[in-house]
Structures are given as structure tokens and as C-alpha cells.
A and B are shown apart, each in its own frame.
Chain A
Amino acid sequence: MTHCHDARGPGAHDPAALTVALIGQPNVGKSTVFNMLTGLNQHVGNWPGKTVEQRTGVYRRKGLTLNLVDLPGAYSLTANSEEERIARDYLIRSRPDVAIIVVNAAALERNLYLVAELLALPLRLVVALNMTDVAEQQGIQVEAHVLAAALAAPVVPIVATRNQGVQELVDQAVRLAGGADWKPSRPAIRPEHEPQLTALRELIAGHISHPYPADWVALKLLEGDREIIELARQALPADAWQRVQALLVKHEDAYLDIAGGRYEWIGRMVRAAVARPKAGAITFTDRLDRVATHPVAGLAVLLAMFGLVFWLTYTVATPAAGWLSEQALGWLTGLAQAILAGAPVWLNSLAADGLINGVGTVFTFLPILIVFFTMLGILEDMGYLARAAYVMDRFMHLMGLHGRSFLPLFLGFGCNVPAVMGSRIIEERRARLLTILLAPLVPCTARLAVIAFLAPAFFGGYATLVSWGLVTVNLFVLALAGIAINKLAYRGEHTAFIMELPLYHIPNPRTVALYVWHNTVGFVVKAGTLILIASMAVWALSTLPGRGVEESVLAAFGRWLEPAGRLLGLSDWRMIVALLTSFFAKENTIATLGVLYGSSDVTGALAGQVAAALTPAARLAFLVVVMLFIPCLATTATIRQETRSWRWALASIGLLLVLSLAAGIGVYQVGRLIGW
């Protein structure tokens, strides 16, 4: 290929800069390589028109600038998933100067499959042989220079987690992009399929337009690739298309042979370059998996792990959150009052009651989120989360989902926004939509914080019991809704479950840190914008037209809704308003109560005031509704963004509105009957 091609990757403003694509199968440490090269000098967005994350970054060294494009993880280039389509479209259409393929030395055979596919493209390729340390622990010795000779392509052994070999990798990529010899070994098709491939080449010759390489198109046609078949159908004249079609129908199983042929070619590479002792030694992963993936013991491990996550989150983060809300907020309020000493009373009130109380309270959840996502990041990076998905598979089947859906749903305990976005890992659209619809039923940190705040004042010694009960009710409703939707709307269809289980390994601090950063930055942005606006709006509505809270606009609206609230036992308009403002952010419930009950200290006193206004049945009903209420604004917006449809966002709001009100009314009415 000519490396001075026009079409370059994103961000190639600097003419001297090279565009380097980073590609690899899932679980090969590709993100670690990307993070090592770019650090925080990276941009996370979406691929145009897709809901797959796009990460680009810049690497700089004296006199050298690389624009790095991190392609989504792909097992092959066969368009089996959105990720694979994006990766191959990018490589074909944007023609990077060079591509770095990251392979896992401990699973070399499977990883070389992608290399075999990439070699069929006009693309310069450097192989980064990663996780050589893990491979050595398993007694697998890969001779990089032998592999390089066999492939006739550069192979650089690296340990990305320890930043070993990364410089050498960059040097090789630059050398290859600069026009070094490139005549790699390429897997040949099995002899029995040669005639068909030749026939296809002849039939499509002259009809396939740039940028698609004709040989590659012929091969993908024979593999039965739907997207390429569609491309050919549109590009070919009718008679040629009919002959292509006839040939493909006759040889529809050729794809198995082509895949088999690639693995035979790989087998020769591996036999030359890999020395491994006789298999049979029980590895570390096998031993751990005997417990971690056992149907009974695995479930116990799962519960213990997640118990630990929650316990640590609340023992480590709650004191920090408490300190923030008492010390830092108090200090801020004092500061604001000192600065605004001469300012009008309303401005003081806006700063203290509106801004600091509203937004500040929300920021105090940050330690909880950071600890939660740190724990989850560690579990993910050490390889445990895939096992959790495996153990949960049989339960998720009841909802027509499979184990993979468990991961995004579990993220929901931190925040529903990453849960909805995390559903991207589910390939099947049907299962993805159902997961997105169920995600807001997972009680997020914000709702748990509201419960943790109100439950002690509402139920005294029974607070812990009530809190656990509420979480259980939420999960129970989630399961029931999932089963019902699957039965009614999807008629019990079943989704395919195929998932790689990565080897266990020591988590990398940098990877975990970036995971936490990406998951919490969204929350900070939300708190800084949506919640800021909502807090000011609540403050304004509760202040205007200036005759005190009791006669404000907000009070009027709340009183108007009181008849509906009475069904739930909420005869106090302030409770209704608190519930409504939770749409802007769940945490707003407390902030709003704080504003409405005129209590500037957001501690026990406020909860006590609220408790006094309600009967026990109404208190429980209120907490149930808080837990099940409609998704917050940020979650709704994310649902719209991920499903590309307002219908799904509105369906989610409708579903939760019905469920929460039904549950709330049920609890209150039953509670009243038994005399609470």
C-alpha cells in the first residue's frame, strides 16, 4: 500500500504526524497499551452514528507525533458484531499509516486468527506480543524472533502493565510506516476452494470500487459475509450478481473451511515459535475457577464479593461523605456568607440554600461513587466480573437475558447512567433493549443515600432491616418486570451466550484509575450542570413570589397534586414536590426537603421533621416510591442516546411511573389496613 494515502484517521492535522491504529481481540491488554502511550492525553467519544466507544489519543516524543486510534475489540473481521464492523470499516476506509495489533502471548493461537485476517488487507502491521509474563507463568515460551520470521512482520514482546517494550513497539511502527519493506506471509485458502475464489475474483473484477480491495471482497464473499454480499449485490451487474449468488449458495459452508485453513496456517506459526511443556499442570486460573464458577460455591463467592464491595463502599466512603457534608459544606456556607455580607438577603439565600445545599449535598456522594467504581474496576481488571456473569447466566435466563446483561445491571448500583451505557457489551439488540429498560430498577448510590438518610429517622432500630428489604423489593420487581416483558413482548426468545473468560491476573492500578475516572467524570458533570440548574429552579420556585415557602409556586403545584398523594398517604405537598424534583437527580429528594422544611443542616434533624409529618405506612410507601420512581433526567437522556429513540426513553419513564405508584399505593393501603 501507499502510506501517503489521502484518507487519514481523525486528528491528523500535523502533516508530520502518523496515524496509528491499535487493534486486538478482547482481553489482550489493548487498553493498557493505549493508556500507556497516551495517558490522559486521550479523547473518549462515539464512533460516528454508532453507540460504540471511540478512543483517540496523541503520543509525543521528540520530533515525533502519533495520532492513535483505539479500535474496538474484535475477534475477527467478519462483521459478527458492531465492534468488528467498525474496526474493519476504519482500516479499509481510513487507511492508517500503520496498525499495531496487540496479541495475548498466553492465548497466541486464537489471537493470531485476527492477524491472519488483517494480513489479507493492504495494511502495514506490527505485532505487539503482550502478556509475555503471564504466558511464562503458564510455562509458555514464545520466541518473538521466530514468530517474526514466520510472519515476515515485526513482532515486539511487551508487558504493557509494566511499560516494558512499549518504546521499541513505537520504533517498529514508525519504521514500518516510514516505508520499510513489507512482504508479510499470508495464509492461503485451502486448495479445494481455490477455483471458487478465482471465479469470484473474475466475476467482481472491475466492479468493486475503492477503497475495498477486490481480493479481500472475493474472500469475504466466499465466507458469506452479509455486509460484503450486500455491497456486491449493489455493485455488480445483474448477470454477474446471479452467478455470484449461485456460487455462494452452492458453497455456503466454505466459511468453515476458510476459518479452518487460517487455523492450520496459525498452527504452523505456533509450532515454530512456541515452546510449551506438556499440558496437564493445573494452573492458577483453573484452581480458582473450580470455586468461583461452581453453581453453588460460585454463587456464594459472588454474594461475598458484592457484599464486600458494598461494605467497603459504605465503611470507607460514608465517613468521607459525612465529613464533606458537615465540614466542607459548613465551611463553604460560612465563606459564602462572608463574601456576600453586604449583598441582598435573596442572594445569600440563593447561595446557601440553593447552591451549596443543593449541589453540595450531591457532591458528597462522590466518595461513595469513587470507592464503588474502584472496587468494581479491580474486580473487572483481575478477570472476576466475567465469572460473575457466568454464574448469573442461569438466573438471567429467566428474563430471556444471559449472563452478560448482569454486568451493566450491576454497574447500576453505582449509577444508572453507566449501567445504560454498559449495555453496549450485549450484541443482540433485543437483549440490549430489555437490559436498558430494566437498568433504572437497580437502586443507584443516590437512591441508597436517600434511604440511608431517611430510614433511621423513619424506622429507628429497624432502619437496616427496612433498607435491605427495600433493595430486595427493587431487585424482585426488576426480575418480575424482566420475566413479564420477556414473556409478553418477546415470547420467551432465547439469546446466545458465548463469552471469553480471561485469565485471572493482578489488576493494573493505571487501568483501574482510568476506569474510575471515566465512570465518575459523568457524575461530576451531571452534578455541575443538571443538578445545579435543578437546585436553582427548586429554590426559585420555592421562593417566588416572595411571600415565603408556604405560599410559593412550588407549594401551589404540590397542593394541586395532594389528592393523588393521599392515595400514597403523602398528605404533605412537600413530600410530593421532593419526589418530583428527584427526576432532576435522585439526590435532590434530600436537598428539596432541606429547602422546603427550611432546615439548612442536612442531618438528622431534617429527617426527624419529615418523619413527624407522616404515618409509618406513609413513610414506608414514600421510601418504596423513591426507590422505584422514574429514571432521573441524566438516565433518561442516556436511554434516548443509546436506543436512538424517544419512544424507549418514554417507555422507561412510563413503566417506572406505573410500577412505583402501584407499589407505593399497595404498601400504604395494606399498611393502613393493618393499622400502621
Chain B
Amino acid sequence: MNLTNARPNSDAAFLLDTAAEPGEAPRQADTVALHHAQGAWMATHTDGAAATAQTLSSLPAGRSGLVVSLAGGHGFGSRVASLGFTIGAEIKVMQNHGRGPMIVSVRGTLVALGRGEAEKVHVVSEA
């Protein structure tokens, strides 16, 4: 897995590390971690090395991704986490026209997100 491709300044690198080696214990207890069940999901859905973290805004309509990290600080993170955007949550893009807001489906509800907000949600998706 190419860790240098992972986004700087986020937990994505560490998360991908965990995903590749589900048995490994988290380095720090407080680090945002992907859990084993989700690691297994990724192993079957992403063909291992193909997964690289990308922004939710870059996923085309119809594609799904797993949340690996949230940028934008506590205020934003706490708001979207309560809406279901937690680490490991599956998000399906319903509409993304490349500009303007987009619509995603998360945990059984449709949520409209501004482009700026969608850029703060980092996901891994099958290639």
C-alpha cells in the first residue's frame, strides 16, 4: 500500500495501514481507527491495494465509499458524525454534477452537502 499517496494532515495514512493489517493494534488509543469489521469490508470490496483515500466530492454518482477521516475540525466533524458520517460508515453518492452541492445517501437517509463540505469528508472507494 502506497502510504505516500494518502492525504497529509489526516488520519488516512494510519487508517489504511490498519486496513491492510487488520490484526495490528492501534498505535495510539486516541487515534481515529478503522475497526476490524470495516477492515474486512475493505479487503473484500477494494481489492486490497487499489484503495486510496479521496474526497467524497470526487466520487461520481452511483459510487460508494467508506469514510476514513473528517477534516474541518470538531465543529464540522461533530455535526456530520451525528448525521451518520462516522469513520467506517458507507456513503453512496446519489448525485454529483461536478459543481455545486451534491446528494449522498448515508445510513438510510438522503443528505445534501455543499461542495466545500463534501471536500472535508475523506473516503476510500473501490477503484
Chain B interface: which of A73-81, A520-528, A648-656?
A: A73-81
In the bound assembly, the distance between CA atoms of A125 and B103 in angstroms comes to 33
Q: Which of the listed residues B82, B86, B99 has the most CB atoms from chain A within 10 Å of its own CB?
A: B82
Proximity bits, A538-557, B CB within 8 Å = 1, else 0 = 00000000000000000000
Complex Cα–Cα for A263 and B108 (A): 13
Q: Which residue of chain A is the closest to B83 with respect to CB atoms?
A: A75
Given A286-B94, A295-B97; A393-B112 close (CB under 8 Å):
yes
Contact B77 A500 (CB under 8 A): no
In the complex, the answer to whether A192 meets B29 with C-beta atoms within 8 Å is yes
Report chain A residues within 8 Å CB of B109.
107, 110, 500-501
Least Cβ–Cβ distance between B100 and chain A, in angstroms: 4
Interface residues of A in 240-259 (CB under 8 A from B): 250-257, 259
A-chain residues with CB within 8 Å of residue B35 when the two chains form the complex: 260, 264
A253 near B30: Cβ-Cβ < 8 Å = yes
Are A252 and B113 in touch, CB under 8 angstroms? no
Query: B88 — which chain A residues lie within 8 A by C-beta?
Result: 260
Separation of A563 and B114 alpha carbons in the complex (Å): 51
Shortest B23–chain A CB gap in Å is: 16
Partner of A223, one of B29, B75, B78: B78
Q: A293, B95: Cβ atoms under 8 Å?
A: yes
Docked complex Cα distance between A614 and B101 (Å): 49
CB of B110 closer than 8 Å to a CB of A: yes
Contact A496 B114 (CB under 8 A): yes
B residues 81-127 near A (Cβ < 8 Å) are 81-84, 86-89, 94-95, 97, 99-101, 103, 106-114, 116-117
Could you tell me the distance in whole angstroms from the C-beta of A388 to the nearest C-beta in chain B? 11
Contacts of A107 in B (CB 8 A): 107-109
**Which residues of chain B are within 8 angstroms of A255 by Cβ–Cβ distance?**
74, 77-78, 81
Q: Which residues of A contact B97 (CB under 8 A)?
A: 294-295
| A75 to B97 CA separation, bound complex (whole angstroms) | 28
Tell which of B89, B107, B113 touches A498, judged by Cβ atoms closer than 8 Å.
B113
A289 touches B82 (CB 8 A): no
A559 interface contact, C-beta 8 A: no
Interface pair A110/B108, CB less than 8 Å apart: yes
Instruction: Specify which chain A residues have a CB less than 8 angstroms from the CB of B11 in the assembled complex.
Output: 253
For residue A389, which residues in chain B have a CB less than 8 angstroms away from its CB?
112
Least CB separation from A195: chain B residue: B29
Q: Are the CB atoms of A501 and B103 closer together than 8 Å?
A: yes
Our pick among B29, B76, B112 for the contact of A499 (Cβ within 8 Å) is: B112
Contact B114 A259 (CB under 8 A): no
Q: B26: which A residues are within 8 A, CB to CB?
A: 192
Of A76, A263, A389, chain B has the most CB atoms within 10 Å of the CB of A263
Q: Are B103 and A289 in contact (CB under 8 A)?
A: yes
A497-B113, A497-B114, A501-B111 known; A390 vs B103 contact (CB < 8 Å) = yes
* A596 contacts B by Cβ under 8 Å: no
Interface residue? B51 (CB, 8 A): no
Contact status of A394 and B100, CB under 8 A, knowing A263-B89, A286-B94:
yes
Closest CB-CB distance, A336 to chain B, in whole Å?
A: 55
CB neighbours of A110 from chain B (8 A): 83-84, 106-109
CA of A538 to CA of B107, assembled, Å: 60
B31 adjacent to chain A (CB < 8 Å): yes
Partner of B111, one of A76, A109, A403, A498: A498
- Kindly report which residue of chain A lies nearest to residue B38, judged by CB atoms: A260
A322 at the interface (CB under 8 A from B): no
Which residues of B are found within 8 Å of A394, using beta-carbon distances?
99-101
Q: CB-CB < 8 A to A75: which residues of B? A: 79, 82-83
Which residues on B sit within 8 Å (CB–CB) of A285? 110
Check B100–A295 contact: CB distance below 8 A: yes
Question: Which A residues are CB-close (under 8 A) to B74?
Answer: 224, 252, 255
Bound state CA distance, A264 and B88, in angstroms?
10
The answer for the CA separation of A501 and B106 in the assembled complex, in Å, is 11
Question: Which residue from chain A places its CB closest to the CB of B114 in the assembled complex?
Answer: A497
Neighbouring A residues of B19 by C-beta, 8 Å:
none
A109 touches B112 (CB 8 A): no
Whether B87 and A260, one on each chain, are in contact in the complex, defined by CB atoms closer than 8 angstroms, is yes
Q: How far is the CB of A112 from chain B (nearest CB, A)?
A: 10
Chain B nearest CB, measured from A49 CB (Å): 23
Tell me the complex Cα distance, A285–B109, Å. 11
Complexed CA–CA distance, A89 and B45 (Å): 43
Tell me if A402 counts as interface (CB < 8 A to partner B): yes
Does B43 count as interface, using CB distance less than 8 angstroms?
Answer: no
Contact B101 A256 (CB under 8 A): no
Contact A251 B30 (CB under 8 A): yes
Q: How far is the CB of B70 from chain A (nearest CB, A)?
A: 7
Q: B62: shortest Cβ distance to chain A, in Å? A: 11
Please name the residue on chain B nearest to A264 by beta carbon: B35
Interface assignment of A450: CB less than 8 Å from any CB of chain B: no
**Beta-carbon contact of B116 and A494 below 8 Å:** yes
B80 at the interface (CB under 8 A from A): yes
Q: Are B84 and A108 in contact (CB under 8 A)?
A: no
Chain A nearest CB from B122 CB (Å) reads 12
Closest chain A CB from B65 CB (angstroms)? 16
Hey, which chain B residues are within 8 Å of A494, CB to CB? 116
The reply to whether the CB of A510 lies closer than 8 angstroms to some CB of chain B is: no
- Min C-beta distance of B110 to chain A, whole Å: 4
Interface check B20, CB cutoff 8 A: no
**What residue in chain A is nearest B70 (Cβ atoms)?**
A256
CB closest residue in chain B, given A494 = B116
Contact B79 A80 (CB under 8 A): yes
B56-80 toward A: CB 8 Å interface, digit per residue (1/0)? Answer: 0000000000000010001111111
Q: Is B32 an interface residue when CB atoms closer than 8 A count as contact?
A: yes
- Chain B proximity of A12: nearest CB distance (Å): 31
Provide the bound-state CA to CA distance between A110 and B111, in Å.
11
Shortest Cβ gap from A255 to chain B (Å): 6
Q: Tell whether A390 pairs with B108 under 8 Å between CB atoms, given A224-B78, A497-B117.
A: no
Q: Nearest 6 CB-CB pairs, A to B?
A: A497-B114, A76-B82, A259-B81, A394-B100, A501-B110, A260-B86
> Can you list 20 A-B pairs, Cβ within 8 angstroms, ordered by A?
A75-B79, A107-B107, A107-B109, A224-B78, A251-B30, A252-B30, A256-B70, A256-B87, A257-B32, A257-B87, A260-B87, A386-B112, A390-B101, A393-B101, A402-B114, A496-B79, A497-B112, A497-B117, A499-B112, A501-B110
> Given contacts A293-B103, A498-B113, could you give 11 more A-B pairs where the C-beta distance is less than 8 Å?
A192-B29, A196-B29, A255-B78, A256-B70, A259-B78, A260-B87, A289-B103, A293-B95, A497-B116, A498-B112, A500-B110
- Interface residues of A, Cβ cutoff 8 Å to B: 75-76, 78, 80, 106-110, 113, 192-193, 195-196, 223-224, 250-257, 259-260, 263-264, 285-286, 289, 293-295, 386, 389-390, 393-394, 397, 402-403, 494, 496-503
